[in-house]
């Protein structure tokens, strides 16, 4: 019970805290560049540290990594609630991302090592997305009601304190097989390379559409925020459903890649494409985690790589799509994004013979 509270309530609170600053970014600085830096600093910290955190969880156990991630999240949240100067805030956001990366790597490793990992990963990914939505909606509402822009940050930092405290009362026996981290990392990168490619592309596509839509659509910020929330809500429903169907991972990823081509082009003409993308992303994430459950002895490194490639996709693909949109137009950017999704359907099958225990 204590472990479940630390992990499942923890992922909700940590993700909500990570998004609580988004509705109130103008309170820190009016410039788009500084606001973007504050927002992106979190993902940079998470990207840099998820793989090292996964390695540490295999070497020293998952519980210490989970504790560290929750503790860093609480401390950074409290600091964000009292600091308003944008440059210290950027640094604290980076540190918050480090804490989030530690917690995600350790907790995903734990969840994916359980006998009923598909069902539990559905709970985990569902609560992760629920936290993202709650952070956006609740923080914006609280800021308006209290006239205090950091009220949402304070609330979710307080919520993070609950699983952080409980985590110091949980214990997990060491079951990791001794092996050189470098050898394990090399093996996983090489043998599962097309799965990592699918993570970069298919998760990154959701970031592409999200980043292009505000300027492309001409909708008000409120409307754009609602549609982005709908995508996350669709993902929540999808991960719960996919975690109970036990679909074959490779076939699921292949078909989702093909359907993402359609969803991306629908997004060009209608925001209903957001819902389609959310559903497909949910099925993809559960299938990818099910695929990686075969790496029984080194879930820390496997989940660290999974998180790292997901963050990499969310970083690289929006930049590439924005470059194409700037010089060749939005239609070309959407078409290029749709076509890159198809490449996953052509390559993911090469991983099928690699599903072996290590």
Please state the three-class secondary structure of the chain as a single string.
Answer: CHHHHHHHHHHHHHHHHHHCCHHHHHHCCCCHHHHHHHHHHHHHHHHHHHHHHHHHHHHHCHHHHHHHHHHHHHHHHHHHCCCCCHHHHHHHHHHHHHHHHHHHHHHHHHHHCCCCHHHHHHHHHHHHHHHHHHHHHHHHHHHHHHCCCCHHHHHHHHHHHHHHHHHHHCCCCCCCCCCCHHHHHHHHHHHCHHHHHHHHHHHHHHHHHHHHHHHHHCCCHHHHHHHHHHHHHHHHHHHHHHHHHCCCHHHHHHHHHHHHHHHHHHHHHCCHHHHHHHHHHHHHHHHHHHHHCCCCCCHHHHHHHHHHHHHHHHHHHHHHHHHHHHHHCHHHHHHHHHHHHHHHHHHHHHHHHHCCCC
> Residue 219's pLDDT is what?
63
Of 291, 296, 284, 205, whose CA–CA distance to 241 is shortest?
284
**Cα–Cα separations (whole angstroms), residue 85 to 90, 238, 251, 279, 333:** 9, 40, 49, 39, 36
> Residue 180's pLDDT is what?
56
> Residue 276's pLDDT is what?
93
| CATH placement of domain 181-354 | 1.20.1250.20
> Residue 217's pLDDT is what?
66
Residues of the chain with CATH 1.20.1250.20: 2-169, 181-354
Only one residue has tokens 């991302």, namely 97
> Residue 12's pLDDT is what?
95
Q: How does pLDDT run along the chain (358 residues), one tens digit per residue?
A: 678 888 999 999 999 998 888 778 778 877 667 777 787 788 888 888 888 888 888 788 888 999 999 999 999 999 998 988 888 999 999 999 999 999 998 888 888 777 777 788 888 888 988 898 888 888 888 888 888 888 889 999 999 999 999 988 887 665 555 455 567 778 888 888 889 899 999 988 988 887 777 666 666 655 666 777 888 889 989 988 988 887 888 999 999 999 999 999 998 898 888 899 999 999 998 898 888 877 666 777 887 888 888 888 877 888 888 888 888 888 998 999 999 999 999 988 876 544 444 3
> Residue 340's pLDDT is what?
93
> Residue 27's pLDDT is what?
81
The pTM assigned to this predicted structure is: 0.77
CATH classification of 2-169 is 1.20.1250.20, yes or no?
yes
> Residue 353's pLDDT is what?
43
């Amino acid at each position: 019970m204590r472990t479940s509270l630390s992990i499942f309530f923890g992922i909700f609170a940590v993700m909500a805290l990570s998004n609580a600053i988004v509705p109130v970014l103008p309170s820190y600085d009016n410039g788009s560049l500084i606001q973007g830096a504050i927002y992106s600093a979190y993902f940079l910290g998470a990207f840099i540290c998820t793989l090292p955190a996964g390695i540490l969880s295999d070497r020293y156990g998952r519980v210490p990594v989970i504790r560290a991630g929750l503790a860093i999240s609480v401390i950074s949240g409290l600091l964000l609630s009292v600091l308003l100067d944008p440059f210290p805030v950027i640094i604290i956001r980076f540190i918050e991302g480090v804490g989030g990366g530690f917690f995600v790597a350790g907790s995903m490793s734990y969840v994916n090592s359980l006998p009923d990992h598909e069902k539990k990963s559905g709970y985990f990914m569902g609560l992760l997305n629920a936290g993202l939505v709650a952070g956006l909606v609740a923080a914006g509402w609280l800021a308006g009601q209290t006239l205090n822009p950091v009220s949402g940050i304070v609330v979710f930092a307080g919520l993070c304190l609950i699983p952080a405290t409980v985590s110091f009362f949980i214990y997990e026996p060491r079951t990791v097989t001794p092996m050189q981290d470098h050898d394990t990392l090399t093996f996983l990168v090489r043998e599962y390379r097309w799965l990592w490619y699918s993570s970069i592309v298919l998760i990154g596509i959701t970031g592409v559409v999200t980043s292009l839509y505000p300027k492309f659509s001409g909708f008000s910020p409120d409307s754009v925020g609602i549609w982005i929330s709908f995508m996350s809500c669709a993902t929540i429903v999808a991960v719960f459903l996919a975690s109970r169907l036990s679909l074959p991972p490779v076939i699921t990823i292949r078909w989702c890649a093909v359907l993402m081509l359609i969803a991306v082009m629908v997004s060009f003409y209608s925001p209903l494409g957001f819902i389609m993308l959310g559903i497909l992303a949910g099925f993809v994430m559960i299938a990818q985690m099910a695929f990686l459950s075969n790496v029984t002895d080194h879930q820390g490194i496997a989940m660290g790589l999974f998180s790292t490639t997901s963050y990499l996709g969310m970083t690289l693909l929006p930049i590439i799509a924005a470059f194409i949109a700037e010089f060749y137009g939005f239609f070309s950017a959407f078409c290029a994004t749709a076509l890159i999704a198809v490449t996953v359907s052509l390559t993911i099958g090469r991983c099928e013979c690699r599903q072996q225990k290590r």
